[in-house]
Chain A
Amino acid sequence: MGEITELENIAQKIRKKTFLMIFHAGSGHIAPSFSSVELLVALYFKILKIDKNNYRDNDRNRFILSKGHASAALYAILAEKGIIDENILNTFCQRGSILGGHPEAHSIPGIEVSTGSLGHGLSFGTGMALAGKLDKKDYRVFVLLSDGECQEGTVWEAAMFASHHKLDNLIAIIDHNKLQSLGQIDNIVSLKPFADKWESFGWGVREVNGHNISEIIDALEGVPFSKNRPSVLIAHTTKGKGISFMENAPIWHYRMPNEDELKIVLDELDIDESELGK
């Protein structure tokens, strides 16, 4: 089996686990998690080189899930990597669990930064990248943002600062699914021209299909995209990717399927009904 096929299989497994966690909890962000799955798989299984033995090393690469509402997918990844115990996934969002609707750094192994409020992660990552430069370390800092998040002014404060300081060890990855909580970004507050905005802020820009693992890996293995510049990977994605009726449907930002919808999910994610009770 080829490496990419293997990673695609992992992505499918992550979708399944993510759904089961959220369904079991009765709350969580299914669609926003699903648009990030391939990005997370490429990062954790190829790019970051983080594993259960080195995730606390000073020289590790850093990853920040600035779109903290995709926490369930990240927990599934951390379990798959053996950094957190697989058995705690089914405690997601339940009494006494360490796994909340947004990730918390102090309680969950492998989580670098507590997120949940949008517009913090890139600035936080900028500080990490700057510290790395000052200390002459080789680590890189990867920050996964949502596209709606780019309406926050702090994203652009960080963007200006990072390019001014030539932080070529900082990589922003944008899950560009074109939707925000209440609808199409273009109909709410448009980000266009998106790539040009980043370019004009002094970033090296690349765009990929955010569900094509091999494209994502090719791009991220080529950072920095421009010499002496921070890099931004605009990943074109589909919100709710993998569940037909959730794809590109804003209403599924934060919602649970009913009985009929559930049948479709089980079929499309290849979940056996017996797994729901776990």
Chain B
Amino acid sequence: MSKWAERRKRVEAESDYDPLISIPMLESGTFNLAQARRRITSEFDSANSKNITIIDPYLLEGDIDVVLDLFATQPDRKITVITFLGRVKQDEKMSPEKVEVAKIIQSIVVDIERKGIFSSFEIIKTNFNFHDRFFVCTDQDKDGVVISSGGSLSMLLTDYSGLIRITNKTFKRSLLQFIDHAKKNGSTLPDFIAEQS
């Protein structure tokens, strides 16, 4: 192979930039959080994803706005959020009790359903803790988009957190297993609230 051909092959092999395998804050140019988050939206929109599962151990009231920003761009979507409702420190204080957060979020979910923004919006509160965050398309008719997020919904793409697109089929199957495990070992938000009352 000539030096030119070898150089071309090498440069092309290295040219694998993917906006969904990235730390957007480190990319050149002015960082814009809304634009960076729109990468996720564009990917799920262009794949016409209908069933989307969000996996995040933390879920706060404000995170529902993030879910709407990311995925309310197309109608008739079925959204599932799997969360432990982990408590976080806010202004040196712990976030409210889980059941209190659950009640607030449930009232927003009811409003979202009433407005028909999603065809369904279900939140599963797991009875076990977990760590990693993902956005998963579970449409059965396609090899759906799966993105691992370094940051939770409230911190998504801030503090140099990144995204990693997952294409590995074995790992995708593991995530489906995790979703199934969470549903079997968790409660819907209304059930969780009832259990705690």
A, B from the same assembly: no
